Structure 1
Amino acid sequence: MSTLGVARADTPWWQTDWKYRKPITLDAGPNGAALGGNLGRTPVLVRLHTGNFAFDGVADGGSDIRFIGADGHTVLNHQVEQYDASLGMALIWVDVPAVSGTAPQTLWMYYGNAGAPAAANGQRVFDPDYSAVYHFAEGAEPHDTTAYVNHPSGPFTPAEGAIIGRGAQVSGQPLHLPGSPSLAIAAKGAMTFSAWIKPAQLGPDQALYTRREGGNVVIVGLDNGVPYVRVNQQRSQPVPALVAGQWSHLAVTASEGSVVLYVGGRAATRIDADLPALSGEALLGADVAPAAGQADAIAMAQPFTGDIDEVRVSKVARAPTQLLADASAQGAESRLVTFGEDEQSAGVSHFGFILKAMPVDAWVVVAMLGLMLLLSWAIMITKSRYFGIVAKANAAFTVQYRKVTGAP
């Protein structure tokens, strides 16, 4: 049970129906994530665990959780990817309107209102330029979080313990992203693909993300662990190889004749190329054979083997600061997000907080302890009365004994 601080006078309480709140500081400056610039609208991952949150006083499933902006009254959209109080873990995406690259800003997570309805909505967290976002947290079938509902199809195997909760395990059979208008790319258009990957086996020319249509092809892949991007006949220059069994963040942006490959949030290499027009489906984790009769077609890449997580596709080229924020803030140790001490609203005592946070099994234990306390009191009273009676009898016996024996 963590100790709660008293609400600070310079930060007025949002709504009194919420009894508790936790300050969350975003620092993109030199002392934090060091992003080197401001961020616009950004989905920020809030990773709660027993080291930074007690999970006491929260409604089932975290349905009463609300996030309030630095101004103290603006409600921020959020999505609960995972919430498990029994395991002491929660993964929540928060839609932050802007993140300063120079000054820290404090958001507030409010909780402690059992009657509050659930308000999480992933479709409102990611801006409309995200055409697909896959958390892989749903279990049996992955879903697109955005309003475009670009749900993938194909065999899906969950990967437990991924970089952000649950991921997807890929081993030869790809996930198919639909050929929808929202995922289509115009000739010389823009796009961003990003994902966390953990290769299990490093091999030649493994495809992570592929789009083929007619004679055109775009591939993001690994070649013996070396990340690369290909646009038709042009392929990026080699960069340092990734390590098998370790998570890495990869991203590719394309716009205005430049295709840039990012590793760990930083630009690693680029090629001068325009994207071709592509409107068919995309493949995640494998490639497809080129159409028959194309003598100069790029050979089919090998499938990727390993785990993937947090796959995103955008219809714009995301800013370098955005990709660096994703790589530095979504891992197990975020350099962007820090947590402060939980606070309680006026009129809520520490004892009241403890009582509201106690689960049913704790009340059973308290009841048993109460019965044991009453029983111990009864035994003490009975023993005390017994010892009193014995003491009086001993005193009376001593008096009579002295009279009989003539003792003084």
Structure 2
Amino acid sequence: MITRHVIAFLSILMPLHAAEGWWNKEWTQRQKLTLNTGADGAKLSGPLENAAVLVRLHAGNFQFSKAAADGGDLRFVTDDGKLLPHQVESFDALMNEAFVWVKLPSVAAGTTTVNLYYGSANPAAVEPAKTADVYDAVLVWHLSDRGAAPTDATANGNNGSVALAASEGAIIGSGARLLGAEPVTIAASPSLDFSGGFTWSAWVKPSALQAGAEIFRRGEFRILLDQGVPLVTVGNQRSTPVPALAAATWSHVVVTAGDGKVSLYVNGEAVSQLATPLPVLDGALTVGGADAGARFVGEIDELEISKGARSADWVKFAATSQGGTEAGQRTVTLAEAESGEGGGGKHSGGALEHLSLFGDIANNMMFDGWIAIGICAIMIVVGWTVAIQKFKYLNTIQKGTKEFLRQWKQLSSDLTAIDHGDQASIRNLGGADSHQMSVIEKSPLYQIYHIGSEEIRHRLARDKQRTQGLSARSIQAIRAALDGGLVHETHRLTKGLVFLTISIAGGPYVGLLGTVVGVMITFAIIAKSGEVDVNSIAPGIASALLATVVGLLVAIPALFIYSYLNSRIKEATSGMQVFIDEFVAKMAEFYPPAGEVSPYAPQPVSKNH
């Protein structure tokens, strides 16, 4: 961080004049974008044509402060000066994060370089190429519409029928959630003629492993996730089973169809192939499950449909470059920024001058203003301390919950495997080792499970043979105990958040109080001295307003942090509620009341055998 600031400061004093080979003097910044398809990158077998490349921009590889706030001055230019089409999917200068798609007519085997220019005070000097030219697909959904129906990024207008819930922090920016409700349909259009074959590509994240969950359908052609196993069905034909996708994990799924075969790819690798010609596919397309019993529940991002069967290299490049993995970071890289003698070069000096003014303003700050700033500083320290502790706590319980659910998945198939007469068996979930338990015990789900198991143990202790089971009243009482545990764990999750809400609500008011008092004192001094001129008023007013600025600097980060933490806490609370329902259902199933027999109980052996 310090090194970057030093380089930026030196670039202000001694600008690097890169006149030779500089594309346009209106643009002041340039970074070299390199695509590596060799053995240490995407590992492709040859060149790639007409690739839409995802460029991830963040604080570590891009100077957001020198670009337009909406990314409107970004231009991608080849070494010979040709302007390339690009689309900004999202550009957040506040969070220092952006996702940009660039069309490369040809990606050579080995490395290909392109220049990213930005930092123009007059972006209209060179209009960007058409956004619709970025893609050679017939449908591209970035699914970053946030509460609106999916919009096609191509010129074909193949938009979705219904709005989808937003999924923040998807694999590429924001995505969409499919909640098992009404599916998304796309009306048939001339652009969606699949008579010559097609390619379907998307990132999917199943919430749980469902039976027969349908992701995509058109006519007799379906793409399924059956208990997490990706399958393709064409009429009565079905692709061979492959390893299941992990629940709550993003996976890249691609299906290519053409030339009498259908190929299935997962995370860039071919996993299955079905030898069959395509039937006539001319109806509407459905995403998320056409039938009520086959609705996919999970998240989806970056859905793309193309005419013709894409190559294996195209699939591998898409999975590698879009996934954000280490291999993807080696595949698409940005070099350090270069500065040119552009028309926007004066902005850096102006920004530095503005920053220096804050020192002058602080020198004129009165005692009352410093009190307000001191209170705001205490709020910042307390609020950030709580935030850091809460971040660590949520990450810890998330890790514990993941391990607990892995153990619970095995245990829930036979709850009687736990010896409820043995507290050690209850504690270690019937066989988890000490290392696993040290992680699991941090999970709130484990605490709720422990409460429920102890309640079962107390009630079964009356019947040493454990044939009595649990009555409906006992199950109701145990659910009440579990709900009590939920309330307790929720209190632990939300403990301390009040300090963030105090910062959000109180910071601006404390700053405003400092400003109002400072303005009053300034005018009182003017009234006593009788000097009424700008030089006597401006410093006092400016220093008084600094208190409000500090108050806002307390509240704004606290607001974002609180919103993020609150969303994670709600997610954890929802998970506990779902687990309680599942635990009660399993408990009622495996411990039926007297007179009823559990379907999982061992059947008596006939005397005739």
TM-score bin (small chain): 0.7 to 0.9
Residue of structure 2 in register with 1:192 after alignment: 199
Deviation at 1:8, TM superposition (A): 8.9
Identity %: 38
Distance in 2 separating the partners of 1:278 and 1:343: 51
Kept after mapping to 2: 8 A contact 1:185/1:276: no
Alignment of 1:150-189 (within 5 A): 150-172=158-180, 173-186=182-195, 189=196
Pair 349,235 (structure 1): closer, same or farther in 2 beyond 3 Å = closer
Once the two structures are superposed, the pairs formed by residues 5-24 of structure 1 within 5 Å of their partners are: 12-24=21-33
Deviation at 1:373, TM superposition (A): 5.3
Residue 92 (structure 2) aligned to one of 84, 99, 108: 84
After superposition, the Cα gap between the structure-2 partners of 1:262 and 1:367, relative to the gap in structure 1 and judged at 3 Å, is same
The AA in structure 1 aligned to 2:227 is: N
The residue that corresponds to 2:151 in the other structure is 143
Cα distance in 2 for partners of 1:302, 1:44 equals: 33
Shift, 1:122, TM fit: 3.0
d(CA) in 2 for partners of 1:11, 1:101? 28
Check whether the contact 2:166–2:174 (CA below 8 A) recurs between aligned residues.
Answer: yes
| 2:264 alignment counterpart | 261
Q: Per the alignment, do residues 349 and 316 of structure 1 end up closer, same or farther by CA in structure 2, a change over 3 Å counting?
A: closer
> Matched residue of 2:168: which SS?
strand
Q: Matches of 2:197 and 2:282 in 1, distance apart?
A: 13
Unmatched 5+ stretches in structure 2: 367-609
**Residue 241 of structure 2: aligned partner:** 238
Post-superposition CA distance 1:118-154 (Å, at most 9, x none): 6364311002xx1110001122322001111000112
The 1:316/1:52 distance shift into structure 2, 3 A limit, reads same
Number of paired residues?
Answer: 350
Q: Could you tell me which residue of structure 2 aligns to residue 108 of structure 1?
A: 115
Instruction: Note if 1:344 corresponds to 2:344.
Output: no
Q: TM-score, normalised by structure 2?
A: 0.55
**Root-mean-square deviation (CA), in Å?**
2.4
Superposition pairs of residues 224-235 of structure 1, within 5 angstroms: 224-235=227-238
Shift of 1:283: 0.6
Q: Residues of 2 paired with 1:279 and 1:168: CA distance?
A: 26
Alignment-derived partner of residue 311 in structure 2? 319
Aligned residues of 1:68 and 1:76 also touching (Cα < 8 A): yes
Q: In the superposition, relative to structure 1, how do residues 375 and 179 fare at CA in structure 2: closer, same or farther (>3 Å)?
A: closer
Paired with 1:28 and 1:58, the residues of 2 have a C-alpha distance of 29
Counterpart position of 1:297:
none
Structure 2 partner of 1:35: 44
The alpha-carbon deviation at position 372 of structure 1 amounts to: 4.5
- Offset at residue 226 of structure 1 (A): 0.7
1:193 Cα deviation from its structure 2 partner: 0.3
CA contact (8 A) 2:218 2:284 kept: yes
DSSP 3-state at the match of 1:153: coil
Match of residue 212 from structure 2: 205
2:477 counterpart residue number: none
C-alpha separation in 1, matches of 2:164 and 2:71:
27
Structure 1: distance between partners of 2:194 and 2:37:
32
CA shift in 2, pair 1:120/1:73, >3 Å = closer
| CA–CA separation in structure 2 for the residues paired with 1:184 and 1:349 | 48
Q: CA deviation at 1:374?
A: 7.9
SS at match of 1:170: strand
Structure 2 SS opposite 1:254: strand
User: What SS does structure 2 have at the residue aligned with 1:317?
Assistant: coil
Bigger helix share: 2
* Distance (Å, rounded) in 1 between the aligned partners of 2:52 and 2:218: 26
Q: Residue 133 of structure 1 is aligned with which of 134, 140, 157?
A: 140
Name the structure with the higher strand share: 1
Please give the alpha-carbon distance, in whole angstroms, between the structure 2 residues aligned to 1:374 and 1:237.
Answer: 76
Higher relative contact order structure (alpha carbons within 8 Å, sequence separation ≥ 6): 1
Q: Is the contact made by 1:184 and 1:278 (CA closer than 8 Å) also made in structure 2?
A: yes
Contact 1:219 1:229 in 2 (8 A): yes
| Stretch of structure 1 that moved more, 248-257 or 7-16 | 7-16
Aligned to 2:63: 54
Mapping for residues 250-399 of structure 1, pairs under 5 Å = 250-288=253-291, 302-333=294-325, 334=328, 335-346=330-341, 352=346, 354-356=348-350, 363=354, 366-372=356-362
CA distance, structure 2, for counterparts of residue 239 and residue 175 of structure 1: 27
Counterpart residue number, 1:400: none
Q: Aligned equivalents of 2:162 and 2:286: distance in 1? A: 10
Name which of 248, 251, 257 aligns with 2:251.
248
Cα displacement (A) at 1:232: 0.7
**Structure 2 contact 27–342 (Cα < 8 Å) conserved:** no
